[in-house]
Structures are given as structure tokens and as C-alpha cells.
Amino acid sequence: MEIQHFDDKKKGHFRAIEGETEAGIMTYVWAGDDKFIIEHTVGNPEFKGVGLKMLDSAVAFARANGKKIIPLCPFAKKMFDRKPEIHDVLSQ
């Protein structure tokens, strides 16, 4: 599975692609220069774990660029609540 990242400095998304099929998408908007808000996550039910793979890509992007994440999307919020190992990119 390939996770593609698009960002236009105002908003962006992580898109999961498996072959010719879109497995999921996670959208975000920038909140200033140093953080972004994960707004929405949709996963194709045929691809188990796709949401977590997209979240892992978002966390890796935040770490690599010194950014923080505000998880407004219910899925992202639930994952941040369950995974203390990603709290280093959680915006306070």
C-alpha cells in the first residue's frame, strides 16, 4: 500500500492507494505555521488498518518537519488517546 501526501500550505491530505483502488484519505488544514488539524478520515472497509497507516504518515510528517497535530477527527482523536508514543506531536 502506498501513502501519498499532498499539501498546498493551506490544507492537505494523506491518500492510501492499493493498486488502482483508493483505500482511504485523511484530510487536514493548517492552523498557523507550526500545527495542522486532522479534520476527517475515511477508510475503505476492505483495507483493514488503513486509517492507522495514514495516521502514521501524518505523525512521521509532523516529526520530520517540527510540527504539531490537533486531532479533531474522531478516529485520529481516539488513536492519540490510545497511543502515548505519538504524544510528542500532539498540540497542547
Q: Is residue 37 scored above 90 in pLDDT?
A: yes
Coil, strand, or helix at residue 64? helix
Q: Is residue 34 scored above 90 in pLDDT?
A: yes
With cut-offs at 50, 70 and 90, classify the pLDDT of residue 85.
Answer: very high
C-alpha cell at 62: 509532523
Kindly report, residue by residue over 8-24, the tens digit of the pLDDT.
999 999 999 999 999 99
pTM assigned to the model:
0.94
Q: Is residue 92 scored above 90 in pLDDT?
A: no
Nearest to 69 by CA among 84, 81, 59, 60: 59
Kindly report, residue by residue over 53-72, the tens digit of the pLDDT.
999 999 999 999 999 999 99
Domains of the chain listed by start with CATH number: 2-89 (3.40.630.30)
Dist CA 21 CA 51 (whole Å): 15
